[in-house]
Amino acid sequence: MTSRYVGRLAPSPTGALHLGNVRTFMVAWLRARSRGGKLLFRMEDLDHPRDKPGAAAAAVDDLRWLGFDWDEECTQSERRPLYAAAIRSLRGQGRVYPCACSRKDVENAQSAPHAGEQLFYPGTCRGRFATWEDAAAFAGRTPCWRFRTEPGDVVSFTDLFAGPQRMDVAATLGDFPLARDRDGAGYTLAAVVDDAATGVTEVVRGDDLLAATPPQILLYRALGLEPPAFFHVPLVTGMDGRRLAKRHGDTRVASYRAAGVAPERVLGFLARSCGWGDGSPTTLRELLGACDFAAIPHAPFRVSEQLICDIMYAKQSGVKT
């Protein structure tokens, strides 16, 4: 038989918790609890320039207010020795090297125009520096660790929500970056090390990270670890289809809370966006019996200003999703 389900909530303290984060966490909580599984809480606080003071504690507060619970928690900034050990292991296999290139350098090295954020790295710094310090001295700033891909580094997996995925990582991304930190304390590596160390069996997260998954699966392989299952849910966007931002209106949980809106109201609207119920106030526990994961739409959930007002002013009529 398969082992017990272990899921996780992994917020980054880069800003206030908003409807988009909550919708993904709601699905993650329900996937775990509907199976009698365990849920971990991991604060992903390694993104120093973007992390905001107070955001970690505020996110915990907001999640508790909404009724979320979890069984264990950890903080990535306290786990640096684990990431450093993973770097040592990968170094020992010759699978990582320090890279002095800036983003601009990598952009300039593209042979074809690259859409979006996924740049191809042709391996400019392969074999160039003996040590991290050499790369740092050459660059005059913090270098990054890159994973040395090999022809045939192709990853296929079936995402439990998004379906079959395949990426020839060597041809698509080349030597992808792991962390801009000497100890390897950066998102791509740390998430893999932590999910494996804490026995996570399924990762539920936003589908903005779908393309980050094949490189992460290569890391599992290189570290001799078993990858978890993945369930990537569509993001919440504004009506323009762009990632939620201030210009779309105030979608921060803390604002609803400060305005006296009940947490059940917020959850009711988000549940409705997943195809569960009519938007009536609800709780996570009530949703346990009603969450059919196959009902979640595959398109992004577009939030209108009207919807934001409807949640805020607790009106139920005339709501469009």
User: Which residues contact ligand GLU by CB under 6 A?
Assistant: 10-12, 44, 191, 205, 209
Q: Which is nearer to ligand GLU, 148 or 205 (CB)?
A: 205
Q: Cβ-closest residue to ligand GLU?
A: 205
CB of 24 to ligand GLU, least distance (A): 8
CB of 204 to ligand GLU, least distance (A): 8
CA distance 169 to 213: 10
Q: Which is nearer to ligand GLU, 7 or 279 (CB)?
A: 7
CB of 23 to ligand GLU, least distance (A): 12
CB of 44 to ligand GLU, least distance (A): 4
> With the C-alpha atoms ordered 217, 223, 224, 227, is the resulting torsion angle positive or negative?
negative
Q: Which is nearer to ligand GLU, 125 or 173 (CB)?
A: 173
CA distance 137 to 147: 20
The partner residues of 237 in beta bridges, in order of sequence, read: 243, 302
Q: Which is nearer to ligand GLU, 188 or 304 (CB)?
A: 188
CB of 47 to ligand GLU, least distance (A): 8
Strands 72-75 and 96-99: unpaired
- The tokens for 40 are 């971990």
Please give the C-alpha separations between residue 30 and each of 35, 164, 174, 215, in angstroms, as whole numbers: 8, 23, 36, 27
CA distance 9 to 68: 10
CA distance 271 to 293: 11
Q: Which is nearer to ligand GLU, 14 or 306 (CB)?
A: 14
